[in-house]
Chain A
Amino acid sequence: MADRYMIEPDLNFIKELNGMGADTLKKCYQCATCSVACPISPDDRPFPRKEMIAASWGLKEKLIKSCDIWLCHNCGDCTTMCPRGAKPGDTLAALRNYAIMDYGKPRALAEAVNDPKKLPILLLIPAVIFVIVGLITGLLDFTPEGSEIVHSHFFSSWLVDLIMVPASIWTVVIFAIGIKGFMKDIHENAVAEGKTQKEKLEIVPFLKSIVNVIPKILMHSKFSECGENEERATSHMMVLFGFIGLFIVTSIFFVTMYGFGIHGPYSQLNPVKWLANIAGVALVIGSALMIKNRFAKQPDQNTTYKDWSLIGLALALGLTGMLTEMTRLGGAAGLSYTIYFIHLMFVFALFVYLPYSKLAHLVYRTLAIAYADYSGRKF
């Protein structure tokens, strides 16, 4: 700490953080209560006190390249104990949002995803793409045959996948670019700040660390250590497992359709359908609980557009998905096709906007936790 260096405050960065929910940041007077209040902060260079002063000084590089901001699970223990109402929890949330935008290229799209005014356009894009691609390819059939409601008769699976597969590839590519920069940055930052003894970032041991931490992440073991978090861990787990369940279902569906030529809809007796239903319900209940918790925590915790848009999307995906199924079983063809269309738009939004939305924490936090494991940061 005795090193001297000239700091270069990025005033714009401070302003932007302010706008992203860290509006109480400057109230901090560095008492360090937060670092002790945090149940998961390590003994060596604990957070979030150091993040608070760095943010206050506008040290953008030091912050968004730090793996520590991702180790925080935003439980709010620090905010509750803060003697000044500086809400360190909100500052760390804002820093993570900032980092997501910074690693999500192109920047313009990242900004659009985080701008509520752009939401209608962003949702309109998939609709337009669908209709245009559908009309060009002739895969959009406005007069589906048969008395049974089969969504793929209306929206051909070819059409859906013609759009969704490239959308998924897009997501993977964008993430790959983001991850490359992210890993390089957090390692350099850890070396520079003496948070690790490892000089080089070795791929194989790091991958082992990922394997190490995934069960812990799934079990929410760190999440549950956070004092104010018990309810949140449950709802978060429901949403996460909901998404995982639906991802598995979609993958099975995809493989069986293209591999074995078996088409949906599956019978309600099919175990895959059970999983789909359970996962869908978990997603709806989990995201509804999150909304309830967010309201209950106000005004102690800032909830920004980024928070609402993600929870909203999760709820919308779950609801439209479940309603599509229910209207199909209920025989309301027009309604079912409409809801399914909306559902598809949300799925597109989930894929394409994922690297820029708060949901990107799925990737970055996992990597950061794995990095902490790899680098020997006791956390």
Chain B
Amino acid sequence: MTESTQALGNGTILVVGGGISGLTTALEAAEVGYEVFIVEKNPYLGGRVAQLNQYFPKLCPPTCGLEINFKRIKNNPRIHFFTLAEVEKVSGSPGSYDVTVRLNPRYVNENCTCCDECAKACKMEITDEFNLGMNRQKGAYLPHEMSFPSRYVISPQIIGTEDAQRCKDVCKYGAVDLDMETRSMNLNVGAIVWSTGWVPYDAGRIDNLGFGRYPNIVTNMMMERMAAPNGPTEGKVLRPSDDKAPESVAFVQCAGSRDENHLPYCSYICCMASLKQATYVRERYPDAKIYIFYIDLRAPGQKYEQFYQRIKEDENVFFIKGKVAEVSEDPDSKGITVTAENAMTGEKIHQTVDMVVLATGMQPSAATAKLPADLTYNADGFIVNDFKKGGMFGAGCANRPADVMSSNQNATGMALKAIQTLVKR
């Protein structure tokens, strides 16, 4: 591993985005001998996967996969990664691209030992983006326990305040450097893999599903953070309004998905995610009831199908074929009533539950902010790969909605495509 602070001369492969797909592409290419740069926007690697509690269908924690990858990166001198870094400009053609990368200041250098003294000294609290805003954290923070690189960050929000100075003063290792500035660096690379990932669809835009209006309606990613031991509730699934243990939870599938008014496509993972999250609730609360409202339950492939069958055997899990189209809140109990027509029986159901989880889909990051390169997108913002032209490729969820497993397969394929671009030259 070389954690780079400056660009190396010879261009090889640039991987934009250090989530599970980017890490895979980088490792696959580096381990067969190619030089790779990873540019990651966040202060840590691991992307969305780092936010998960468990993978489906094996229900193992994401640390499993990420730890191994981080170790491979550490052991590989051909991988250079930059966190808090963003690609600003790309010019050139397959075989030779000039890339401008902006490096945002972390205000903490490699001397950091994660002693937490700076966080203790800091008084100001900021929104914890890693936990999707469900809690607040200090202005000097470690993004999460498993952060890689394992180093604190001073938020730009406290720069210039007394808090920042307090952080600097308290650090025994001289790790806090408030003079760090935004820098620009140039890379010359032969191929670029865009593994820019996804953002959860903004549930607040789905008017009829009440997110943002009623506190006990959360999204599936919020559920992941709640269930994660390093999350805002330390792994306890509690309903937000009163931290009560939910006795009943409704999952609303296709919340803003397969819907012309929102995301017209299927995000592939939400059905499996809800089935998985049903187990989070069920293992914590043996009497809790789960209601899963769906249009079609999609558990693609043999293993996922088996997982679905297993959940179906649980007599506390109820499946209702019908999309929830209306929600209301009881002002006293704060319980939520969801309404759907059960298409199997032809009756409208008004199910009152303690908590509702909206299974929102994935939107490619590029849908909201176009990438600074000559790429082709489909109508939904996913990168369309032009293998004839070559040189630049979309991998993982930048290319299509996918689970971790198929993202990795896709990312491996894109590593090969990138290598082919270099070899052809």
A contacts, CB < 8 Å to B:
1, 29-33, 35-37, 41-46, 49-50, 81-85
- Are B346 and A29 within 8 A (Cβ)? no
Please determine whether A46 and B348 come into contact, CB atoms closer than 8 angstroms.
Answer: yes
A84 neighbours in B (Cβ, 8 Å):
258-260
Within 8 Å of chain A (Cβ to Cβ): is B115? no
A41–B347 Cα distance when bound, in Å, is: 11
A32 CA to B326 CA in the complex, in Å? 11
A31-B323, A32-B322, A37-B325 known; A1 vs B345 contact (CB < 8 Å): yes
Interface SS of B by simple majority: loop
A33 engages B323 (CB within 8 Å): yes
Where chain A touches its partner, the secondary structure class is loop
B116 → chain A closest CB, angstroms: 47
A31 touches B326 (CB 8 A): no
Which B residue sits closest to A41, measured CB to CB? Answer: B348
List the one stretch of B64-72, B186-194, B336-344, B392-400 in contact with chain A. Answer: B336-344
Task: Give CA–CA (A5, B295) in the complex, Å.
Answer: 24
Contacts known (A35-B348, A36-B348, A43-B348); A81 close to B341, Cβ less than 8 A? no
Max chain B CB contacts within 10 Å: which of A31, A36, A37, A83?
A: A31
Is B4's CB within 8 Å of the partner chain A? no
CB within 8 Å of A: which B5-31 residues: none
Closest 7 CB pairs of A and B: A83-B259, A36-B325, A35-B341, A32-B341, A31-B323, A43-B348, A32-B322
Please name 8 pairs of A and B residues whose Cβ atoms are closer than 8 Å in the assembled complex, sorted by A: A29-B295, A30-B295, A31-B295, A31-B323, A32-B322, A32-B325, A36-B325, A36-B326
Are B322 and A31 neighbours in the complex by a CB distance under 8 Å? yes
Q: Which chain B residues (320-379) contact chain A, with CB distance < 8 Å?
A: 321-326, 339-348, 350
Q: Confirm or deny: B254 has a beta carbon within 8 angstroms of a beta carbon on chain A.
A: yes
Q: Are B343 and A32 in contact (CB under 8 A)?
A: yes
A1–B341 touching, CB < 8 Å: no
Contact flag A30-B348 (CB < 8 Å), given A83-B260, A83-B261, A84-B260: no
Within 8 Å CB of B344, what residues of A?
1
In the complex, residue of chain A having the shortest beta-carbon distance to the beta carbon of B320: A32
User: CB-CB < 8 A to B406: which residues of A?
Assistant: none
With a cutoff of 8 Å between Cβ atoms, the chain A residues found around residue B295 in the complex are 29-31
**With a CB–CB cut-off of 8 A, which chain A residues contact B341?**
32, 35-36, 46, 49
B208 interfacial by beta-carbon distance below 8 Å: yes
Q: Which residue of B lies closest to A27 (CB)?
A: B260
> How far is it, in angstroms, between the C-alpha of A32 and the C-alpha of B349 when the chains are bound?
12
The answer to whether B346 and A46 have CB atoms under 8 Å apart is: yes
Q: B12: shortest Cβ distance to chain A, in Å?
A: 45
Cα distance, A31 to B208, chains bound together (Å): 15
14 new A-B contacts at CB < 8 Å, known A43-B348, A49-B343: A31-B322, A31-B323, A32-B321, A32-B322, A32-B323, A32-B340, A32-B343, A33-B323, A36-B322, A37-B326, A45-B346, A45-B347, A46-B341, A81-B325
Closest approach, in angstroms, between the C-beta of B320 and any C-beta of chain A? 10
List residues of chain B with CB within 8 A of the CB of A85: 260
Cα A35 to Cα B322 with chains together (Å):
10
A41 to B324, CA, bound (A): 15
